[in-house]
Amino acid sequence: MAGFPEDFLWGVATSAYQIEGAVTEDGRGPSIWDIFVHIPGKIADGTVGDVACDHYHRWEEDVNLLAELGVRAYRFSVSWPRVLPEGKGAVNERGLDFYRHLVEALHSRGIAPVVTIYHWDLPFALYEKGGWAERDTAKYFAEYAHLLYRRLEGVPYWITLNEPFVATVLGYVTGEHAPGEQDPRKAVRVAHHFLLGHTLAVQAFRDEHLPGSKIGITNLMTRVLPASEDREVVEFAYAFERLHNGLFVDPLFTGHYPREALLAFARILWGEEGARDGDLEAYLYAQLDLPLEDLESFRQPVDFLGVNYYSPTRVAFNPESPFGGLEFLPPAGEATAMGWEVYPEGLTEVLLDVHSRYPGVPILVTENGAAYDDVVEVLPDGTKRIADEARANYIQAHVQAVRRAVEQGADVRGYFVWSLLDNFEWAHGLSKRFGLVYVDYATLERIPKASFFAYREIVRTNGG
């Protein structure tokens, strides 16, 4: 069996709000998540991210763990309100210094920094002015990105946005994530402004002419599996997959949304009568008072596409479903503690589909991992052990899925496990553990799990 390329980028990933803590220290301003988590009932286990893993104070210990793991890259995000407490204007130099020191420490260990500019923590000051529903936020985002390009030296990989589809749907349709709104009409504007912010940030990156640096975007992708071969079910499955996987990628290459996304927008906003033939983009943009010429500007070349993959989505057709006839089904077979089906072949299929649809663009698997209910075992000598074989098996199976995609021609350049540390898992709070390293939230002790050592061997042997 062919191996991975010698320069394959093995890494792990985290995000600022999920690990940093120190939410009021050294000049940091509040984000929408700082406000959201303190609303009773919003977080399943009632916890908040005020401390999380306390990475802000323990980052040197965490860099040591990265070095012990032997990874070639570390993906982390910058907290926008830590650097720009108001989202714009005055720079918080102490916040910027934190990331500068982190980047320098990574370089000293031979670890490449992969920096996500936005991982959902919009400064609350900008949300009070309308947030992503307003065009100005895209402009302020590009200014923030430009600041990072100039002040964080030696970053070889930049990611503009993490999973904008999830941020749009869970933040503005279902309300499960910050800012907790349920306004589909506003969600369409938010999606547009995410794409505009990405576009402006890429333009700012090109203007800086940073040698040796690349820029891309990361999207959550899934494999949508129909419950039967009935034509209606198959068509609905395909349409949802194109909406989910293509909404924030197709415009970067074509200057247009996937037609399936436009039909979904029309159905959500105006019912079946809105899902009509004709120039749907022009119709939608006129109704939402958005400039149609933005679409062509979205067609900006990116240097790579980030793919986050966890599980497939199984669907059936049900005319009574609130999702326009689409019914989401439970997993078939093994599932993680999140209730997500373990289906590594879906990752192979997604990577081949991305490679086929967007030829010539390298791919990074920027997140892949699993939550399980870890148990800490104290051995007779007092050492602690977490025997998370299920997570180790999940990672091994998905690494092999990436290998199969590479062997079939997909240009995959890297793989990042989510996550280095157990952390604050958004609406689930601290109850779901994805880490290769166990975090005791009472003491903040870090304990490498069995999966840590299993992944270390994968990295050491370049995929085995």
Q: Is 345 a catalytic residue?
A: no
Task: At 200, list the tokens.
Answer: 């402006």
Q: Is 372 annotated as a binding residue?
A: no
Q: Is 426 annotated as a binding residue?
A: yes
Q: Is 162 annotated as a binding residue?
A: yes
In 3-state terms, what secondary structure has residue 148?
helix
What number of helices (H) and strands (E) belong to the chain?
Answer: 17, 15
Q: Is 320 annotated as a binding residue?
A: no
Q: Round to whole Å and give the CA distance between 216 and 448.
A: 31
Q: Round to whole Å and give the CA distance between 242 and 368.
A: 20
Residue 414 CA: distances (Å) to CA of 70, 107, 218, 344, 361: 14, 18, 13, 16, 13
- Residue 246 sits at φ, ψ, to 5 deg, of -105, -15
Instruction: Name the active-site residue from 20, 163, 241, 260.
Output: 163
Q: Is 272 a catalytic residue?
A: no
Q: Round to whole Å and give the CA distance between 346 and 220.
A: 13
Q: Is 425 annotated as a binding residue?
A: yes
Instruction: Name the active-site residue from 20, 241, 260, 367.
Output: 367
Q: How far is CA 448 from the centre of its chain?
A: 24
Q: Is 182 annotated as a binding residue?
A: no
Q: Do residues 203 and 184 touch, judged by C-beta distance below 8 A?
A: no
Q: How far is CA 408 from the centre of its chain?
A: 25
Radius of gyration for the alpha carbons in the chain, expressed in angstroms and rounded? 21
In 3-state terms, what secondary structure has residue 207?
helix
Burial (Cβ within 10 Å: 0-12, 13-18, ≥19) of residue 442: exposed
Q: Is 119 annotated as a binding residue?
A: yes
Q: Do residues 371 and 337 touch, judged by C-beta distance below 8 A?
A: yes
Catalytic residues: 163, 367
Query: What residues are designated binding site for substrate?
Result: 18, 119, 162, 310, 418, 425-426
Query: What residues are designated binding site?
Result: 18, 119, 162, 310, 418, 425-426
